[in-house]
Copies of this chain bind each other. A is one copy, B any other.
Amino acid sequence: MAGDGSDQRALQYEQTLMYGRYTQELGVYAKEEAARLRESGQRRSVSERSRTLDLLEYDKGRCAKCRICTVRCQKFLISRVGEDWIFLILLGLLMALVSWVVDFCIAICLQAQKWMYGGLDSNVFLQYLAWVTYPVVLITFSAGFTQILAPQAVGSGIPEMKTILRGVVLKEYLTFKTFVAKVIGLTCALGSGMPLGKEGPFVHIASLCAALLSKFMSLFGGIYENESRNIEMLAAACAVGVGCCFAAPIGGVLFSIEVTSTFFAVRNYWRGFFAATFSAFIFRVLAVWNRDEETITALFKTRFRLDFPFDLQELPAFAVIGIASGFGGALFVYLNRLIVQFIRKQKAINRFLMKKRLLYPALVTLLVSTLTFPPGFGQFMAGKLTQKESLVTLLDNRTWAKQGIAEEFDYIGHSQAWKHPQVNVFVTLVLFIVMKFWMSALATTIPVPCGAFMPVFVIGAAFGRLVGESMAAWFPDGIHTDGTIYPIVPGGYAVVGAAALSGAVTHTVSTAVIVFELTGQISHILPVMIAVILANAVAQSLQPSLYDSIIRIKKLPYLPELGWGHHEKYNIRVEDIMVRDVRYITLNCCYRDLHNVLLTGHLKTLALVESAESMILLGSIERAQLQSLLSQQLGHTRRLEYIRERAAAEKKRLSVMSNPGSEDESQRVSQEVRFQISTEESSFSPTRPVPQKPLKPALKRSSVVERPTEIHTNPHDNSGIALKNLFCASPDTEGLEDDGDMEDDMTVREIVEWSEKQLDEQVNFNNCKIDPAPFQLVERTSLHKTHTIFSLLGLDHAYVTSIGRLIGVVSLKELRKAIEGSVTVKGVKVRPPLASFRDSGTSSSENEATELHKLWDRHKSMSLPREHTPSESDEKSQ
């Protein structure tokens, strides 16, 4: 914001578009939003009732009874609509339809590409052109469309949902525009045949659906305006998203829990299951109705033998897959972040890409599709198969490489894409894995709606297949020695590999369940579980999950997890990490104290204590509230009033010249009294609700106080700008605007004196919104418990008290530091391995803070003079 201005800002803008960087203040916003909703709800219910009455009046003449009955039925239905299960059924139905339609469109897009490619087989160059142009056009359209309509639709959406479910309101992520952009953008992006997934975006789409459905249904009932209910419904929606994407209800619920929640309310469990099951059911029923399937089956059905799925002695191979996938997953996350950071850092590239905003997606698509061109390099990596086709072939239960046996495996259907006349199937697989690996990591950085789950899943399956084929080649007759020959099933290895790699990238265990539901077979449960757990163990110790990585890249407000068994965490107490130097205000402080406190520190709320001696914590006040208090005390309106008062007094003095003795005292007294009155009546009206008309929105208030209202609401958008406004408003805007009926004839010196006097008055907190029970911890609360409480309640900070006395404060920052290993009991800094990669996102939030400080300092020297030193800069600024 400060510093190397336009360049920086341009970069910033580019980043916003590209990765949806987030900079808004949220808590304040959430509260306002809640208040607004409550208000409009009340208004609506009133109007509804009156409408019903009207209806009754109108129809009294004719079949009144019939009408009444209808109205009652309607009422009953409406009250029923409030039930959760109706909402969940609607959500499931809607999402199943969306998922099915998206799949259908993607299939058509991919068919069209194949048809074009196939039709031009006479000319390789034309073929290449068709093969390459098609995805480039689609991706470019997707990127352009998304950026124009709703840049929030870019990317996976799971990181944003995680942040939202943590209690942070990212409102622009849940709009209808975003919904449209995400659905259409996703369809185009996947229709291009690039290695992208639909799972992450579907979590987002389901949440969008839930949010919009909530809004729609709040037309009928009242409970759709409850915040905690909405959060619960969003959590269920995430499950629906995964569930209807893979037709995996159980895996969907578990995956969404693992990926989006820190604490999970078991009472919310059935919601997820109910909605996801219904959604998956409808999704598969649509396929049956469309004659794609005979009955409801798994999406990628396998036909492994049931009686002897695998040998006990094959388990080491499965374990190897797990461990290797762990490293691979960490590498994928690292690679993905590296690409993003590289593009961000290279200013030359950046500036160029920023100008031609759609160039980056087009270039990446060109590169990827060139490499997969089937007659070209694509022949060595099964380039002509779509993602779905490759997965089906990889999970095939036949063995591709039987070296010991004479009869060559006849590659039927798509499987023959894996066979190359010159090259071994192992080479094809290795090439496929290596190429797809970086391609997927690169493709997921394109600013289109896309996920990374499915590409990673396919790579994992290919890796598993590779190991499986190797095992099959090594033990052609299987390992089992007792009589019967049970050959090795490489398809089983593919299943294990897919679960392990996707588990490693997302840091989840439930990919195992998704795999079972996708393949319709659970016979490999133990190998899959072992591999997934090992992969998770390795990946979690090396890198954050892909979603956490994106959260850090996008700088969303987050709280890191307590990782795998870092047992030193159990011994850290709040007293080790808390900030002891708390900014507070006392109940009997004057405006000058308020002002001084506001100048230092940057927490969003300030503690209110009884007195500096007792330090008894009474509550907390938002910074914005205090700022508006201060601005009102020093504001234009108030000064005009003072001038008016003074003029009146002057007039009075002229008229009552007859008794000049007691003049001075009486004027002072009356002035003081009047200030008290004015404080009570006019200056504070913006923060105090108008008692007679509590439902009136804030903007409809009298025009006299409009300016302070504006100041008051501004801080919610961007604190930096708000602060500027606030302090510009206090003493140096009167030159610009003199709309008052009274002439502002005060000199600069008078204004300074007046301000000084105002600052010495005692603060009146009567009309200030005070949070009466801010969250409190004790010194001995463990880090573990603190983390639990913070993540469950979505706290931003908590006060540490001792017998009512405020002794410290812990904010997310301290907690984050403590968890990421900067603080231990002994005070020694311990960094987890590769931690330097992890907190690449934390540094700039501190930068912001210092920038804010600079801003403060500037204003301090500019606008609000200290006592006895009305400096020259002060004169200038007037």
Contacts and interface: CB of A to CB of B under 8 A. Distances in A.
Interface of A: 82-85, 222-223, 226, 228-229, 249-250, 254, 257-258, 261-267, 269-270, 273-274, 277, 280-281, 284-285, 288, 294-298, 301, 303, 306-312, 480, 482, 509, 512-513, 516-517, 520-523, 525-526, 529-530, 533, 536-537, 561-565, 567, 570-571, 608, 610, 616-619, 770-773, 776-778, 782, 784-785, 788-789, 792-793, 800-805
B281 A309 contact: no
Given A533-B274, A565-B84, A610 B310 contact: no
Contact of A616 (B254, B567, B610): B610
B529 A564 contact: no
Contacts of A288: 312
Contacts of A249: 525-526, 529
A571 B227 CA distance: 11
A132 to B, nearest CB: 40
Given A526-B280, A564-B84, A788-B792, A262 B269 contact: no
Contacts of A308: 294-295
A295 B273 contact: no
A477 B516 CA distance: 30
A792 B263 contact: yes
A832 to B, nearest CB: 14
A250 B530 CA distance: 12
A301 B619 CA distance: 61
Given A226-B570, A295-B312, A266 B257 contact: yes
B281 A295 contact: no
A567 B223 contact: yes
A565 B523 CA distance: 37
A771 B516 CA distance: 50
Nearest to A780: B772
A533 B772 CA distance: 42
Given A570-B223, A803-B618, A529 B250 contact: yes
Nearest to A787: B267
Contacts of A619: 803-804
Contacts of A297: 309, 523
A91 to B, nearest CB: 14
Contacts of A229: 567, 570, 784
A526 B516 CA distance: 13
22 contacts: A83-B565, A84-B564, A85-B537, A85-B565, A228-B784, A250-B513, A250-B525, A262-B266, A262-B267, A263-B265, A263-B792, A264-B264, A265-B788, A270-B536, A296-B312, A306-B521, A517-B522, A520-B523, A520-B525, A521-B521, A616-B616, A773-B778
A565 to B, nearest CB: 3
Residue picked from A265, A303, A536, A617, most chain B C-beta under 10 Å: A265
B295 A309 contact: yes
Contacts of A84: 564-565, 567
A263 B520 CA distance: 31
Contacts of A618: 616, 803-804
A308 B608 CA distance: 68
A170 to B, nearest CB: 21
Nearest to A782: B228
Residue picked from A262, A298, A562, A784, most chain B C-beta under 10 Å: A784
B263 A266 contact: yes
A306 B301 contact: yes
Nearest to A264: B264
Contacts of A257: 266
B263 A264 contact: yes
Contacts of A561: 266-267
A769 to B, nearest CB: 11
B250 A294 contact: no
B277 A83 contact: no
A513 B563 CA distance: 27
Contacts of A295: 308-312, 480
A706 to B, nearest CB: 29
Contacts of A782: 226, 228
Contact of A262 (B265, B280, B301, B564): B265
A228 B284 contact: no
Contacts of A509: 269-270, 273
Contacts of A228: 570, 782, 784-785, 788
A610 B618 CA distance: 12
A465 B432 CA distance: 48
A776 B778 contact: no
Contacts of A563: 267
Contacts of A536: 270
B801 A773 contact: yes
A566 to B, nearest CB: 9
A530 B616 contact: no
A273 B312 contact: no
Contacts of A284: 526
A772 to B, nearest CB: 4
A770 B803 contact: yes
Given A254-B254, A258-B266, A258-B269, 11 more contacts: A83-B567, A84-B564, A228-B785, A249-B526, A264-B265, A265-B788, A294-B480, A295-B310, A298-B523, A522-B522, A619-B803
Contact of A270 (B533, B610, B776): B533
A523 B521 CA distance: 7
A487 to B, nearest CB: 14
A262 B265 CA distance: 6
Given A249-B525, A295-B310, A778 B789 contact: no
Given A84-B564, A309-B297, A616-B616, A281 B793 contact: no
A666 B296 CA distance: 98
Contacts of A280: 526
A359 to B, nearest CB: 40
Contacts of A785: 228
Contacts of A269: 258, 509
Nearest to A280: B526
Nearest to A250: B513
A73 B482 CA distance: 43
Contacts of A312: 285, 288, 295-296
B264 A533 contact: no
A789 B82 CA distance: 25
A608 to B, nearest CB: 8
The 7 closest A-B pairs by CB, nearest first: A84-B565, A618-B804, A277-B529, A772-B803, A226-B570, A773-B776, A522-B522
Contacts of A258: 266, 269
Contacts of A307: 303
A258 B554 CA distance: 34
A385 to B, nearest CB: 24
Contacts of A270: 509, 533, 536, 564
A851 to B, nearest CB: 34
A309 B802 CA distance: 64
A511 to B, nearest CB: 11
Contacts of A571: 222-223, 226
Nearest to A275: B533
A275 to B, nearest CB: 10
A789 B228 CA distance: 13
A115 to B, nearest CB: 29
B296 A526 contact: yes
A730 to B, nearest CB: 28
Contacts of A770: 803
A257 B510 CA distance: 15
A174 to B, nearest CB: 20
